Amino acid sequence: MARQVRSAPEIPDMEVLRQIGGGSYGEIWMARSVTDTLRAVKVVYRNDFDDDRTFEREFEGILKYEPVAREHPGLVDILHVGRDQTGDEEFYFYVMELGDDVERGSQIQVADYEPRTLRSDMLRSGKRPLAVSFCAEAGARISGALAHLHAQGLAHRDVKPSNVIFVKGQACLADIGLVAARDQRTFVGTEGFVPPEGPGSAGADVYALGKVLYEMATGKDRLDFPELPDEPIPKPDIKRWLALNKVICETCDPRLKKRRYTDAAELEGVLSMIHKARRIRKKKSPVGLTLTTTMVALGIAALAALPLPAFKISATPGRVVSAPTTSYVTVTSIPEGAEIYDGDGIYLGTTPYGPKEYPIGMEVVYRLRYPGHKAAPLRETLDQADEIFLVNMTRYPPEPGLEWRDFLGQRYFPEPDSSHLTGYLVGPVEFGRSPASRKKGWKGVEVSENGVSRRVAFVTKEQGRQFVSWLAQESEADGVARDEYRFHVEFEEDGNFEGVPEEILQSELRPFRVRVQGIRKGRLMFDTSPPGAFVYLNGEYQGTTPLEGLEIFPGEMHLRTELDGYEDYETKVTVDEGELISIPKVVLSATKGMPWQIPDWKNSLGMEFVELDEDLLVSRWETRVQDYQKFVNATKRDSPEPPDFVQHRNHPVVNVTRQDAIEFCEWLTKLEREREGIREWHQYRLPTDLEWSQIAGVEFEEGDNPSQRASYEVPGFPWGTEFPPQNKVANLAGSERALYEPGSVIMGYNDGFQNTAPVGRFEPNKLGVHDLGGNVREWVSDSYNDDPSFGTTRGGSWEDYTVNHLRTGARRLVPASGTGQGYGFRVVLAKLEQVEEKLDELEIENDG
């Protein structure tokens, strides 16, 4: 229906200023409230709908949405809903927060205000990929908003970049004019964001968000999915981009049952994990892929998933035209009959389509759809008087309820049992392409089938089975995996074959059809004591116990569990099609290693650790002389230069470089793994600068590196706020050193140690960690700034006496190869940094 041109609406208690947006479902106006606050008002007119029922349904959606919107920060608040009439034209309206300006953010100027949306962000980026962190953060926020909507029984139905606005810098889901009860199947939405099964469901909203993420992460149009970006991703972002791309592909797969992410809450969790690059309790299967292998496999898979390009064929002109200015375009496809849409998503007809006249030099954009095939793009700049474009449509596996075609072009129709059966008997052309046709004896015979006369292949039963076996094998290239689908041959035994020679009817030759049946998965029930064990089937991660009804394909599998503190459990599991297997609860055997389950855990050197979080244990004290000496003896390296004072075995080692400390950690990791004190996903290392702050109790710091953070004023000291300290809180340069270095001490403070002290002699902090404020300055893994030749130490030492050197936020710039009598180190035990389980073993390195 053509849109009317209307004047500004009259909204109670609002001064309507100017129109700032609009579309098929209403107009958006900027208005000023009686409190002098700028708002956005959406007005939806009855005359823009074909009938009352549709108009009222959309109004009911707004009424349901209003109270829900205020409960989630990712939804634009609806402040007021009203209904009115101007003359004989009825409308309803709702007042919303006004989004940020595309240029000035929250600083709004009425005259030139333009809302900041995801679409405007993409345009301003020059259609280049947006930052991975921004994509993941905004995606998590919007998926959280959708999860909230879905939990209230509502669906958005039009998730797209222009409907994501920014309010105070945060992405919010807006334009909720299409919000309705979930599973309302009226066809609404925007082409390319609507899944093949149609709009209206929670899963359709998630699919649309996946396409939004695709546009953000690649800079390409959603109709180009799954093509890769035109320009390379920056190297620091590549691993997280690969993780995000994998999530996008598993959200936007055209095959519903192949989509991994159909739940908005689940998608929110995995996007949040990518944004934070958080370490989690995730282990790497010994038989799993390495990161490099996974990345290569993903790259190959992404390239293999690209639609086949359109093949350009130049037709012979039917007439001679000098200096042509127009081109006549015809589009056809294999198979024919594909629906064709223009670049704006408007339906044009079916292939073959045309000829249609265009100016030479113009770029034409089409999108083709065909049941059982991936949507195919066609984008071409015209350069001839006559152009014919042939598009090869790529098949995808048979979906229940939808027609499907195999690579031979045979049509399969859905059956009530969710299988697919060829609509016609297999013909001699199709059969003749298989190796089974090389054996003599089969015949091509004219048969009347469903009133249509056509040639049919009459074959032996063995030839029919061989054909189907070959068809199944070749169909794997189209994604019809043989462990997921079963191909059957069905012979026509009692058909009424008019005109068939008697000798063939009396022979063993019979025509046949092909049935494709999805293999029914079995289900596995499995639990362990204690729960939370990681479960692998044939080396692939499946989740943590308890597993309640895990769906798996039939066959024999190797099941293995992993859990810190317990021995691996392994067994063989055989599941038949459709069978439910319940394994009795397995009591896991505890081990003496696996530190995360044991409070105050000690390693084989006697170093004691406390838990900072589920991924990091911290040594209670600094690395001792006795610890380092075992490293020296084992590696036959030179001992550190001895200090000018006497040290005992339980004093912190000094005069070590940062590289010395790193090599000690590498040696200790190897030693402990060999002794089975830690697992292959555990690793000793130096703490990072931020981790050291966290260990010391710092809650917040600003800056991208130690140099920048050093200028941020963190209040207090590792022992508290007093200076000079009133009690013996740390080994510092106190008055006990006054006779040796007068003027370089904290007068009035005496800790009793002129040089280094035994580790752990002073009270620990709340975490249970000793000597963060004194004894020795501790190496961390970070360089002080962008120059790797400069290292960083944290914490005070027995030599320090000034406030600036002893405050918790202090950092000291030290050459990475430097040593000193006040320099030592502390180690942490970390789980190898990996991304959350939902990414299917795809790992992300944290460069920090």
Residue listed under structure tokens 């893994």: 781
* CA torsion, ordered 661, 639, 642, 757, to nearest 10 deg: 50
Distance CA(800)–CA(734), nearest Å, equals 9
How far, CA to CA in Å, does 788 sit from each of 159, 703, 792, 815?
45, 17, 10, 9
Distance CA(632)–CA(647), nearest Å, equals 17
For residues 281 and 614, the answer to whether their CB atoms sit within 8 Å is yes
Amino acid occupying residue 533: A
Distance in angstroms between the alpha carbons of the first and the last residue of the chain: 57
Amino acid occupying residue 818: G
What tokens appear for 94 in the block?
A: 């709702």
Q: What is the DSSP letter of 373?
A: B
Nearest in space to 201 (alpha carbons), one of 188, 184, 213: 184
For residues 254 and 203, the answer to whether their CB atoms sit within 8 Å is no
For residues 518 and 419, the answer to whether their CB atoms sit within 8 Å is yes
Residue listed under structure tokens 């459990």: 569
3-state secondary structure of 608: strand
What tokens appear for 271 in the block?
A: 């996007």
Parallel, antiparallel, or unpaired for β 443-449 and 452-458?
antiparallel
Q: Is the peptide bond before 286 cis (omega within 30 degrees of 0)?
A: no
* CA neighbours closer than 13 Å in the CB half-sphere of residue 711: 7
3-state secondary structure of 230: coil
What tokens appear for 699 in the block?
A: 């809650």
For residues 274 and 240, the answer to whether their CB atoms sit within 8 Å is yes
Nearest in space to 333 (alpha carbons), one of 344, 341, 322, 325: 341
Amino acid occupying residue 151: A
Distance CA(640)–CA(823), nearest Å, equals 12
The residues, any chain, with a CB within 8 Å of residue 606's CB and separated by 6 or more, are none
For residues 805 and 784, the answer to whether their CB atoms sit within 8 Å is no
Is 246 labeled as ligand-binding? Answer: no
Distance CA(27)–CA(21), nearest Å, equals 6
Q: For residue 206, what is the enclosing H or E element?
A: helix 202-218
Where b means 16+ CB within 10 Å and e means fewer, 491-517 reads bbeeeebeebeeeeeeeebbbbbbbbb
Instruction: Give helix then strand counts, H and E, for the chain.
Output: 15, 42
Amino acid occupying residue 593: G
Q: For helices 264-276 and 238-251, what crossing angle results, to 10°?
A: 170
What tokens appear for 124 in the block?
A: 């301003």
Nearest in space to 74 (alpha carbons), one of 264, 304, 323: 264
For the chain, the maximum distance between any two Cα atoms, rounded to a whole number of angstroms, is 123
Q: Which residues are annotated as a binding site?
A: 42
Q: Which residues are annotated as a binding site for ATP?
A: 42
